[in-house]
Every structure is written in C-alpha cells, then in structure tokens.
Structure 1
Amino acid sequence: MLTWHGMLFVGQGILVEAGTVAIDPALRSISRWYLGLWGPWFVLGGLAFGAAARAHVLASPDRRRERAAGIVSAAGGLGLSVIALVAGIGQGLSRPSAGAGVVQAAPLGRASP
C-alpha cells in the first residue's frame, strides 16, 4: 500500500509538472515536495516493508496461511484505493478547464464548483 500511495504521489506530481493537471499556484511547492521527496520515500518504505514481510513469511512454519493472509489484505487495500481513485474520492479535481486535456485541481479542503 505504501508503494502504491507513493506511486500516486509521483504520478500526480509528474502530471502537474508536465502541465497536464493544473493546480493552484500556491500549492505548486507542496506538489514538488510530494514529487521529489514524499512519493519516492513512500515507494522505498513500501518496498522495505514488503521485503520484511517476505522474510517473515519465508521464516514462518505456516507459509501458506501467512501468504494467503498477505494476499487478501493487500488485494483488499489496493481494491479500496482503486475504487477511491476511480470515484474521485480525495482527489479534489474539478471540471476540465478550457485547455485541451488539462484538469483543474481544486485546493484541498474546498468543494469543486
């Protein structure tokens, strides 16, 4: 989940920097922090937790049960995250602006018009 969350930060940051997604200029520096620091940090943290979980499963006497529990929880969390992403929950995106293919992002905590 951390890896997925970090990839979302990086992906959205790349879209903002490429000009595909427009954000409030006041949020630009925050977006760069998420792209350059927090996104990669979450990706690395997720990979580290994944390596630790793998080591735990390999050392466990009941590997099959441990692996099944990990797959079910990861699939459930990823599924909920994808549903929220598709539904636009927490995205703060408003209607497309007049520019071709550019999406205007609303500031956090504000409803879209």
Structure 2
Amino acid sequence: MLSAAVSSSVILGLLHLSNLTFQSVDATMQQVFYALILGLALSFIRILTNGLWVGILLHSLIDFQPTIATGGSAATNWGSLLLIFLPLFVISLLWPWFSDRLLLKKKGETPFS
C-alpha cells in the first residue's frame, strides 16, 4: 500500500507541473508540493474508508476553490505551507506504512522478505 500511495501521489504532484505555462515557477512548485501531500492524504482516506467516494468528494471540493476557477494562483509563504502540510504528510505517510506492516504480520511474513 505504501508504494502505491507514494507513487500515485508523486504522479499527481508532477502532473501539476503543467501549470508552468500560465503561472510562476514558485506557485507551481507549491502546487506540486501540496498536490503530492494531498494525494497521500487521499490515499490515507482510501485505505481508512475502503472506498473512493469520500476522496472523490474531497478532491471535488478542493477543485472548487476560487483560485482554480481564475486559472492560476499566486505563491504563498513557504513557512505557512510547511506548517500546514508537513503534519498531514507525516500522518498520511505513516498510515500506509503501518497498514503494510499489519498485513504482513497477519500473513506471517517479514517486511523485507
């Protein structure tokens, strides 16, 4: 689960590089950063609920932000962005890791076998 969550989140983040065509590099890098972390959070929600609908609803609500409707966003302070998203990153990364370990323990395997 961890590798699927991380790889899909990295892809989601990198897809936001296409925004370089109409906004600043700094704003785009911030979008890549928080899209990656929100991708992990949506993976966390997917594992927790064992369904897609909650994640789909949350992603839809995120997409209704006024800055998305105007076609671009300005860069914000990296410090506040890190303050908000780093705890979410840690929680969203640890959940699939613990889930993987729990599944392996149930099967009687070790994490590195």
TM-score by length of 1: 0.35
- Which structure carries more strand by proportion? 1
- Which structure carries more helix by proportion? 2
TM-score by length of 2: 0.35
